Amino acid sequence: MKIISPKTHGILDYLTVIFLFAAPTLFKMEGSLCTFTYTLAGIHLLLTALTNFEPGVFKVIPFRIHGMIELIVSVALVAAAFWFNSNESELGFYFYVGLAIVILIVFLLTDFKRSTVAAEN
């Protein structure tokens, strides 16, 4: 069941960006974990701003491609979690496994087939 509309997905994306920018302070992240989290926040902000859906700013990336990128990112975040775990960062492991699960759930519940801004105009 696809219960998340493109507009709601975009709002969730911007909330994710805010969370990622706040996470290093909230969870007292240091070193590569902090840097990786800030970098991911910037990349996610760029992806969201460039996506062709209502919350997008520049509307360059098709919404379906946005979804595929998020699916790939959710898998990559699991790999990142294990990398942090192997570098003795229990926080990094649990943080990125949790984030990967949330991104995957949002992906599975989003209606990527719904018309986008360019198709409506």
pLDDT at res. 70: 97
Per-residue pLDDT band at 114 (split at 50, 70, 90): confident
pLDDT at res. 121: 46
- Overall average pLDDT of the 86-104 stretch: 97
pLDDT of 97 higher than 90: yes
Q: Report angle CA 65, 6, 68 to the nearest 5 degrees.
A: 20
Q: What confidence tens digit (pLDDT) does each residue in 30-82 have?
A: 999 999 999 999 999 999 999 999 999 999 999 999 999 999 999 999 999 99
| Residue length of the chain | 121
Selection from 14, 56, 22 nearest residue 38 by Cα: 22
In the chain, where the domains are located: 6-112
Q: What is the mean pLDDT of the chain?
A: 94
**Paired tokens of 7:** 């507009």
